[in-house]
């Protein structure tokens, strides 16, 4: 009899600790009309910190994919898997960043959304590699943010850019801060430090390639002793030696290409790329949302990085500039993005770096 009572009490604890929340939103949730639909571990019976609160569905809008693709159309979300990311959302607010809440978002990754759209690059005859592609995500109100193709398909950590369909607060266990909830779907860039790219109601994705043209010569001797820096199309300086004052860093690497496989396991040592541009690129909402860097090599090879990839990371995977003045096969300057799985966006014999915003 005693055993039965203990079993009954254990069952009651589990039912009250891990229950499906179907009630209406509380007073703290009055800003949202979403419904709660998930298993909630209110008693903290598991080691998962990210299932302790109700999940709220967000209002989704139809999403079009257009641009340099052969089969534009509307995204069928029903065919896509759901991924989850955790985010500490923080916005610019003068000189002090404004923290707005910590959340788990569930949704559909740009990786999966764009996966079956066939590329039709405008500049494919001149430059076949896809590393100069980027996408513009536009909201219902006309707000725009950009992501590089490499940011979506080449990183070490995939599926971290989502169209969010649901949201859950990550509530501190002591303060019990109930972060505000929105109603609408958002694009979520989980790798961003300042989350200005997390805009509501995305309705269109446009695939584009860099419009700059470069002379391609794959037979040229790959050594160039300097590179030029441009902002808004104007050359502002030439760099011919390792920049002073830039922070140095060493990365242990497994340098692996998408085409040729393993290149080396040699450590890379250089200076942070963002330090070279810090005096000419302000940390503004416009730059975070639509800023880009185009890095071009002596032989016409080129790639694109968004501003946020270089200046606004929360994972400390920096892009570094390597200076090897005696390296006649790839020197004097090489760019290495530590965030990437593949080596394809590394650029040897850098000739020019351009900073601009999406027009």
Which region holds residue 30: left if phi is over 0, alpha if psi is between -120 and 50, else beta? alpha
User: What does the alpha-carbon distance between residue 344 and residue 256 come to, in Å, rounded to a whole number?
Assistant: 8
The answer as to whether 30 is a domain residue is yes
pLDDT at 38: 52
Taking residues 262-284, what's their average pLDDT?
91
pLDDT at 4: 44
**Is the domain of 112 the same as that of 177?**
yes
- The CATH number linked to 304 is 3.90.420.10
Portion of the chain with pLDDT greater than 90, in percent: 75
pLDDT at 151: 97
Give the domain extent around 297: 227-357
The pLDDT tens digits for 298-349 are 999 999 999 999 999 999 999 999 999 988 888 899 999 999 999 999 999 9
DSSP label at 94? T
**Is the domain of 145 the same as that of 177?**
yes
Among residues 303, 239, 306, the alpha carbon closest in space to that of 276 is found at 239
Residue for token digits 């609160």?
53
Which residues, in sequence order, are CB contacts of 217 under 8 Å at separation 6+? 299, 300
The burial class, CB within 10 Å (0-12 / 13-18 / 19+), for 312 is: buried
User: What does the alpha-carbon distance between residue 170 and residue 54 come to, in Å, rounded to a whole number?
Assistant: 10
Q: Considering its fold, how many domains does the chain have in total?
A: 2
**Is the domain of 261 the same as that of 119?**
no
The burial class, CB within 10 Å (0-12 / 13-18 / 19+), for 123 is: middle
Strand (E) or helix (H) holding 336: strand 333-337
**Is the domain of 250 the same as that of 286?**
yes
């Amino acid at each position: 009899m005693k055993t039965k009572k203990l079993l009954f009490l254990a069952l009651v604890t589990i039912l009250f600790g891990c229950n499906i929340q179907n009630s209406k939103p509380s007073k703290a949730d009055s800003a949202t009309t979403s419904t709660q639909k998930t298993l909630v571990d209110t008693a903290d019976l598991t080691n998962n910190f990210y299932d302790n609160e109700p999940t709220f569905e967000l209002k989704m809008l139809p999403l079009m994919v257009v641009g340099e693709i052969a089969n534009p159309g509307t995204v069928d979300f029903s065919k896509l898997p759901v991924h989850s990311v955790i985010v500490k959302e923080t916005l610019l607010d003068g000189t002090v960043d404004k923290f707005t809440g910590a959340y788990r978002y569930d949704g559909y990754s740009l990786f999966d959304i764009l996966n079956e759209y066939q590329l039709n690059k405008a500049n494919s005859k001149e430059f076949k590699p896809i590393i100069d592609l980027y996408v513009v995500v536009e909201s219902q109100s006309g707000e725009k943010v950009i992501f590089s193709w490499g940011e979506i398909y080449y990183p070490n950590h995939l599926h971290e850019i989502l169209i969010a369909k649901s949201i859950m607060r990550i509530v501190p266990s002591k303060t019990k801060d109930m972060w505000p909830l929105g109603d609408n779907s958002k694009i979520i860039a989980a790798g961003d430090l300042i989350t200005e790219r997390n805009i509501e109601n995305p309705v269109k994705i446009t695939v584009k390639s860099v419009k700059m043209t470069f002379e391609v010569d794959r037979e040229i001797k790959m050594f160039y002793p300097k590179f030029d820096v441009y902002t808004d199309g104007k050359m502002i300086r030439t760099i011919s030696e390792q920049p002073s004052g830039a922070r140095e860093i060493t990365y242990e690497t497994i340098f692996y290409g998408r085409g040729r496989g393993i290149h080396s396991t040699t450590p890379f040592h250089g200076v942070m790329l963002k330090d070279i541009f810090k005096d000419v690129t302000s940390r503004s909402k416009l730059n975070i949302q639509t800023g880009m860097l185009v890095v071009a090599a002596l032989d016409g090879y080129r790639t694109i990085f968004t501003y946020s990839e270089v200046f606004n990371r929360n994972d400390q995977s920096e892009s570094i500039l390597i200076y090897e003045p005696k390296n006649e096969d790839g020197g004097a300057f090489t760019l290495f993005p530590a965030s990437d799985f593949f080596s394809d966006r590394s650029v040897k014999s850098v000739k020019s770096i351009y900073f601009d915003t999406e027009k």
